[in-house]
Structure 1
């Protein structure tokens, strides 16, 4: 199951269309704390998490930190999604333990390709360099 937290309803809808079109089940959340609550109370359980960075109340950075602080979620792949390609944000995500960073493209096809790429990575062996960590 793919989990995705984002406060933007349009982004949630586009993401759902892309992931469903790739044959994967998706559960979306309008804020990060709802995602954390679901992680604590499965089923369904997440196989991979996508997090928007800029959310009200608690940012994607905050949610990522909480996920990585919990030993039982430490190996769960977390992909950060943001419209920002700011190198400081990318480095912060890498430092906090994200597995991958996707810059949200306004182009549906390009965004779909980036999400598809993230969903096909073998996370057990993927150890990205800084360049491989970031996907536009």
Structure 2
């Protein structure tokens, strides 16, 4: 399989003040982009060096994210090409997987809402408004 396209080094957007480690942000972002269809099987990943330079992070951080994505079956190594997005290994319910990817964000919203003693109905109303905008 040849690479469908070379992905740019700026496919990742890092939140530096987040409690979530940078490598984990990268893993989750790539998973969301694959499941959302923005990134397809066969697309060539930018090099570790390119991504580290673009984000201003240690290359070991990028390497750790790529290694996790490879071990989970999201990326595969191709001789002479580096890492490419893997073909889906098995059939799965994409809607269910996409929904699971936002669970950590929703769990943080629930925790913050509870800490602020907000009524669940008010939070749900706000979420519905934000989703329809």
TM-score normalised by the chain length of structure 2: 0.30
Rg comparison, structure with higher value:
2
Which structure's relative contact order is higher, taking Cα pairs within 8 Å and 6+ residues apart? 2
TM-score, normalised via structure 1 length: 0.30
Compare the two structures and name the one with the higher helix fraction: 2
